[in-house]
C-alpha cells in the first residue's frame, strides 16, 4: 500500500471520526506500507497521535517504508 503521509492522515482522521480506527488499522496491519512525503506538512497533536497509532499497530508485524525528499538535517 502506497500513499502520501497527508492522504494517510486524512484516511485515519475519517475512520477515527466514524469510530472505525481500530478496524482500519487491523486491515492494513499485514500489508507492506509505503508512506511518502514525510516532513512536508507539520502535524498537530491529534494528527501526530493518529500517525503514531498507525506505526505502533504495525510494530513487528510488517514492513513500513517512509520516504522524504527533505535533507536529514530538516
Of 70 and 8, the one with more pLDDT: 8
Q: At 40, is the pLDDT very low, low, confident or very high (cuts 50, 70, 90)?
A: confident
The number of residues in the chain equals 74
pLDDT above 80 for 73? no
User: Three-state secondary structure along 16-38?
Assistant: HHCCCHHHHHHHHCCCCEEEECC
The answer to whether position 56 is within a domain reads: yes
pLDDT above 70 covers what percent of the chain? 99
User: What is the Cβ-side half-sphere exposure of residue 8, based on CA atoms within 13 angstroms?
Assistant: 25
Residue 8 belongs to what domain range? Answer: 2-16+28-66
pLDDT in tens, 23-39: 999 998 888 999 999 88
Q: What is the largest CA-CA distance in the chain?
A: 37
What's the structural domain count of the chain?
A: 1
Helix (H, G, I), strand (E, B), or coil: what is residue 5? Answer: helix
Helix (H, G, I), strand (E, B), or coil: what is residue 39? Answer: coil
The answer to whether position 33 is within a domain reads: yes
Amino acid at each position: 500500500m502506497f500513499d502520501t503521509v497527508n492522504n494517510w492522515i486524512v484516511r485515519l482522521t475519517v475512520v477515527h471520526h466514524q469510530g472505525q480506527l481500530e478496524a482500519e488499522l487491523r486491515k492494513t496491519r499485514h500489508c507492506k506500507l509505503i508512506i511518502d512525503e514525510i516532513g512536508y506538512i507539520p502535524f498537530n497533536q491529534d494528527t501526530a497521535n493518529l500517525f503514531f497509532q498507525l506505526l505502533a499497530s504495525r510494530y513487528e508485524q510488517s514492513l513500513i517504508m517512509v520516504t522524504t525528499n527533505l535533507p536529514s538535517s530538516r
